[in-house]
Amino acid sequence: MPNIAIIGAGVNGVSSAIKILEHYRNNEPNTPIQVTIVSDEFTPNTTGDGSAGLWGPYLLGGTDEAKVYKWSKSMHDFLEQIWLSDDAGEAGVCLLPCVRLSTTESSVGDFWRDIVYGSNDLTSKQLQRYNEGRTVKFTSGLSFVTYTSEPAKLLPFLMKRFLRNGGKIVRQKVTDLDNFILSSPYDVVVNCTGLGSRELLDDQQMYAVRGQVSRIKANWIYTAILDESDDGNYIIPNCDTVVLGGTHQVKDYNVNVSPSDKSFILQGCRRFVPGIEYAQHLKDWVGLRPGRGELRLEAEKRGGKVVIHNYGHGGSGVTLCWGCADDVLQLLLQSKSVSKL
Ligand SMILES: Cc1cc2nc3c(=O)[nH]c(=O)nc-3n(C[C@H](O)[C@H](O)[C@H](O)COP(=O)(O)OP(=O)(O)OC[C@H]3O[C@@H](n4cnc5c(N)ncnc54)[C@H](O)[C@@H]3O)c2cc1C
C-alpha cells in the first residue's frame, strides 16, 4: 500500500495531499492508500492564513514563466469550479474586479492576462486620473476580473475535504529529514515546508520576504487596486474584511508588527480610497513569504526513498498551489513506476 507523508500544512501541503489522495480514490479504488500530513502548524497558523489570497503571480524570482503560467491557470480553473458550485461561500472564493498599476517599462500581466477575465489595458486618460498628485507616475495599468480565495477559509475547507477522504494528520516538527525518512513507515515524502526548508534542508537559497498587512471592515469596497511598484500599496477585499498592504521586505525575519509599516500602509491606501480613514481597523498581521531564487519542484532519491520537494512559492503560494500539486502527483506517479512501490 502506498504510504505517503506530506510535510507541511500550508496551501501547498494540503493541495498536494488532496491531489494524491483523490487520484488514488478516483482512479485506483482497489489500491489502498495512506496519505498523512505531518506538520508543526496547521490553519489558522500558516503563512497563507493572513493573506488575502488574491490570484496573481508575484515575487517568484527566476521561476520559469511557462511553468508559472501552467500552475496559475490550473488554480484559476479550480477556483472557477468552486465559484460555480455551492461551496464558494464556505471556501472563501469570491470573484473580484481588479486594477493593477505599474511604474516600470513592462506592461502589467504580460504573460497571464488571458487567464483572467476581461483584461483591458487602462487608457492614458484613466492612467492620468490615477496619476493625479503623484510624483512617480504609473506607466501602465490593467483592469480585469479574477478570484480571491482567502486561505483562512480555503484551508479549513480543503482540510475537511482531505479528512473526509480518509487523510490523516500528525502534529510534529521534522527536525532531521534523513532521520525522518529512515525511521518512518512512509514510502514517499513530499516536502512542502515553505520557508521551513531553509532550516530543514539547509537551503541557503531560501529567504524570507516579510509582508505586513492591515485588515479593516469596509464592506463598501468591491474592487482591488494594486500598485506594483517596489514601495506600492494594495487594497484587496475579502468576503468579510478588506486587506490593506503591504510590504515585501527581502531577508527581513521580523514577525512583529511595525508601527511605521502600519502608517505607510494606511496612508498609502487612503490615497486611493480616502474613506478608508474612517473604516474600523480590525488587525495588523505579519507573514514571511517563502522567497527563493526559483521555486523548487522536483524529486530526489534520499535514504533509499523518493522525496518530492514543492517549496519556495514567494508571494504566489495561493495562486500556484493547485497547479504545483498537479506536478507533485505526476512526479509521484513517475517515481512509483521507477521504484515499483
Ligand atoms: C502579507 C502576505 C500576503 C500574501 N498575499 C498573497 C496573495 O494575495 N496571493 C497569493 O497567491 N499568495 C500570497 N502570499 C504568499 C502565500 O501566502 C505563500 O506563498 C504561501 O502561503 C506559501 O505556502 P506554503 O504552503 O508553501 O508554505 P507555508 O504556508 O509557510 O506552510 C509551510 C508549512 O510547513 C510547516 N513546516 C515548516 N517547517 C516544518 C518542519 N520542519 N516540520 C514540520 N512542519 C513544518 C509549517 O508549519 C506550515 O504548516 C502572501 C504572503 C504574505 C506574507
* pLDDT score at 337: 56
The Cα 219–Cα 216 span in angstroms is 9
Answer yes or no: is the C-beta of 315 below 6 A from any ligand 1 atom: yes
Q: At what angle do helices 317-339 and 11-27 cross, to 10 degrees?
A: 50
Ligand 1 atom index nearest CA of 41: 47
Ligand 1 atom index nearest CA of 200: 41
- The protein residue whose alpha carbon is closest to atom 4 in ligand 1 is 51
Residues (pLDDT < 50) of the chain are: 338-341
* pLDDT score at 28: 87
Who's near 28: CB < 8 A, 6+ residues apart?
A: none
Calculate how far, in angstroms, residue 340's C-alpha sits from the geometric centre of ligand 1.
Answer: 32
Answer positive or negative: Cα dihedral of 320, 323, 328, 329.
positive
Contact 84, 332 (CB under 8 A): no
Answer yes or no: is the C-beta of 57 below 6 A from any ligand 1 atom: no
Domain extent, residue 304, equals: 3-339
Number of domains into which the chain is organized: 1
DSSP letters along 192-251, please? --GGGHHHHS--TTEEEEEEEEEEEE-TT---EEEE-STT--EEEE-SSSEEEE---EET
Helix (H) or strand (E) segment spanning residue 87: none
- Residues 150-207: pLDDT tens digits? 999 999 999 999 999 999 999 999 999 999 999 999 999 999 999 999 999 999 999 9
- The protein residue whose alpha carbon is closest to atom 44 in ligand 1 is 39
The Cα 10–Cα 316 span in angstroms is 13
Answer yes or no: is the C-beta of 5 below 6 A from any ligand 1 atom: no
Calculate how far, in angstroms, residue 46's C-alpha sits from the geometric centre of ligand 1.
Answer: 6
| CATH number of domain containing 28 | 3.40.50.720
